[in-house]
Amino acid sequence: MTTKNLSLTHLIKPSSLSGKAPLILMLHGYGSDENDLFSFASELPSEYMIISLKAPHSLQPMGNAWYAINFDAQQGKFSDVEQAIESRELVKKFIDEALEAYPIDSDNITLLGFSQGTILSFALGLSYPHLFKNIIGLSGYVDPNMLKAGYESNDFKHLQIYNSHGSSDQVIPVEWARNNKPFLEKLDIDLTYEEYPVGHGINPQNFKSFKSWLEKNN
């Protein structure tokens, strides 16, 4: 489907429905692009419209990022929080534009992120929970520094989260992901958390599990 000229470059797969459709909004990982997660769009339920975004910051020699990571920082991988917050707001702006441009059911929006895209998805979902029904966060974690001030007082009762991580992840330690569960449960968020014996990636069992979760929570 031809994409409209919105603020972020994106790919789109139309819904099988004739009216307004639920949306899956895909946010790729660091160094990737909009084609990555979109590659399994055809395997997801056909009633969903699927939009895969391209992050705004170009990397050399290829790929894109939602925010810079300083891999040489003495304290480990140091995220550019200011840039991350800018991207958080940019995606929020894109959602407003997409609701005007495409036949989307505004009450049924799912964020699907991988790695850095998951970190940003959590930042969006916890800062603006009224915009989303579901978050599928693969191989990422909650960074409280990227959340909008006062997020603790938000109403999360309708938000559902699926979070998974590789127990052998060499990029984002599984311990970081394990912190998500107590953090999110403290906010009374409906959470499903799973681990798989893989590195920084998604194996077939993981894909099958989050797809099943999505079908139950559509």
Q: Where are the domains of the chain?
A: 10-216
- What's the CATH fold of domain 10-216? Rossmann fold (3.40.50)
- pLDDT for residue 70: 77
- pLDDT for residue 79: 86
- pLDDT for residue 87: 98
- pLDDT for residue 125: 98
- pLDDT for residue 72: 65
157-170 b/e (C-beta count within 10 Å ≥ 16 → b): eebbbbbbbbeebe
Give the pTM: 0.95
- pLDDT for residue 69: 87
**pLDDT tens per residue across all 218 residues of the chain:** 556 689 999 999 999 999 999 999 999 999 999 999 999 999 999 999 999 999 999 998 899 999 998 766 555 567 899 999 999 999 999 999 999 999 999 999 999 999 999 999 999 999 999 999 999 999 999 999 999 999 999 999 999 999 999 999 999 999 999 999 999 999 999 999 999 999 999 999 999 999 999 999 88
What pairs with residue 51 in β-bridges?
A: 12, 25
